[in-house]
Amino acid sequence: MMQLYFTDGSALHAPASVEGVPADLSISLAEAADRIGVVNGMPFFLDRDGSYFHELNRFFRACPTMGVRSRHSLRAYAHDILIWMRFLEERRSGKPVWRADHNDVIAFHHARRLSDARFRISASSWNRAIAALDKLYRWALEEGLIAASPFRYDLSFRHGQGRGAPKVVEGNRARERAARPHDMQFVDIKRYLAFRDIGLRGRLPDGSEDPAWRGRNGERNAVFAELLVTTGMRLGEAGSLIIDELPLLTSESPRILPFDLPGAITKGERPRRIRLPRRLLTLIEDYCDIERQIAAGKTPPRPVVPLVLSSDGRNAVDGSGRRIALTRLRLQDRQRLLLSLDGMVEHASLWLTERGQPVSSGTWEVAFRRASQRCRAFGLDITVTPHMLRHTFAVNMLSMLIREQVGTIFNPTNAHGAAYRQMLGDPLRQLQHLLGHANITSTYIYLDSLAEAQELVDAAADRWTAELMADNR
One pLDDT digit (tens) per residue for the chain, 473 residues = 789 998 876 666 555 565 666 655 555 666 666 666 667 788 999 988 889 999 999 999 999 888 887 778 899 999 999 999 999 999 999 999 999 999 999 999 999 999 888 889 888 889 999 999 999 999 999 999 999 999 999 887 665 544 556 677 788 999 987 645 455 688 888 999 999 999 999 999 999 999 999 888 999 999 999 999 999 999 999 999 999 899 989 888 888 889 999 999 998 788 998 889 888 999 999 999 999 999 998 888 877 778 999 988 889 998 888 999 999 998 888 988 999 877 789 999 999 999 999 998 889 999 999 999 999 999 999 999 999 999 888 888 777 767 666 655 544 444 444 555 555 556 777 778 778 887 777 777 776 665 544 444 444 444 444 544 454 44
Q: CB neighbours of 414 closer than 8 A, spacing ≥ 6?
A: 422
Q: Is residue 122 part of a domain?
A: yes
Packing angle, helices 123-142 and 102-113, rounded to 10 = 160
**Is residue 154 domain-shared with residue 204, that is, in the same domain?**
no
Residue type, 36: I
Other CB atoms within a 10 A radius of the CB of residue 236 amount to 17
Q: Is residue 178 part of a domain?
A: no
Q: How far apart, in whole angstroms, are the C-alpha atoms of residue 372 and residue 212?
A: 17
Number of separate domains in the chain: 3
Residues 267/313, Cβ–Cβ less than 8 Å: no
**Is residue 138 domain-shared with residue 77, that is, in the same domain?**
yes
Q: Is residue 209 part of a domain?
A: yes
Q: Pick from 320, 355, 377: which residue ends a domain?
A: 377
CATH of residue 341: 1.10.443
**Is residue 162 domain-shared with residue 195, that is, in the same domain?**
no
Q: How far apart, in whole angstroms, are the C-alpha atoms of residue 241 and residue 219?
A: 17
Please report the pLDDT score of residue 459 as a whole number. Answer: 47
Q: What is the pTM of this model?
A: 0.69
Domain that residue 401 falls in? 386-471
Q: How far apart, in whole angstroms, are the C-alpha atoms of residue 20 and residue 239?
A: 37
Q: How far apart, in whole angstroms, are the C-alpha atoms of residue 44 and residue 4?
A: 6
**Is residue 211 domain-shared with residue 309, that is, in the same domain?**
yes
**Is residue 158 domain-shared with residue 208, that is, in the same domain?**
no
Q: What values do phi and psi take at 50, rounded to 5?
A: 85, 0
Q: Pick from 312, 345, 377: which residue ends a domain?
A: 377
Angle at 46 between CA 44 and CA 51, to 5 degrees: 130
- Counting beta carbons within 10 angstroms of the beta carbon of residue 98, is it exposed (0 to 12), middle (13 to 18) or buried (19 or more)? middle
Please report the pLDDT score of residue 108 as a whole number. Answer: 96
Q: Is residue 180 part of a domain?
A: no
Angle at 7 between CA 4 and CA 13, to 5 degrees: 140
**Is residue 197 domain-shared with residue 339, that is, in the same domain?**
yes
Q: How far apart, in whole angstroms, are the C-alpha atoms of residue 336 and residue 381?
A: 39
Please report the pLDDT score of residue 150 as a whole number. Answer: 97
**Is residue 160 domain-shared with residue 211, that is, in the same domain?**
no
- Residues 309-344, buried b or exposed e (16+ Cβ, 10 A)? bbeeeebbbeeeeeeeebeebbbbbbbbbbbeeeee
Please report the pLDDT score of residue 178 as a whole number. Answer: 62
Q: Is residue 183 part of a domain?
A: no
**Is residue 46 domain-shared with residue 94, that is, in the same domain?**
yes
* Chain center to CA of 66: 18
Q: Is residue 181 part of a domain?
A: no
Residues 6/42, Cβ–Cβ less than 8 Å: yes
**Is residue 69 domain-shared with residue 216, that is, in the same domain?**
no
Q: How far apart, in whole angstroms, are the C-alpha atoms of residue 346 and residue 323?
A: 19
Q: Pick from 145, 172, 199: which residue ends a domain?
A: 172
Residues 133/102, Cβ–Cβ less than 8 Å: no
Residue 172, beta-bridge partner list: 153
**Is residue 40 domain-shared with residue 148, that is, in the same domain?**
yes
**Is residue 155 domain-shared with residue 203, that is, in the same domain?**
no
Q: Is residue 184 part of a domain?
A: no
CATH of residue 65: 1.10.150.130
Please report the pLDDT score of residue 25 as a whole number. Answer: 56
Residues 261/327, Cβ–Cβ less than 8 Å: no
Q: Is residue 182 part of a domain?
A: no
**Is residue 200 domain-shared with residue 312, that is, in the same domain?**
yes
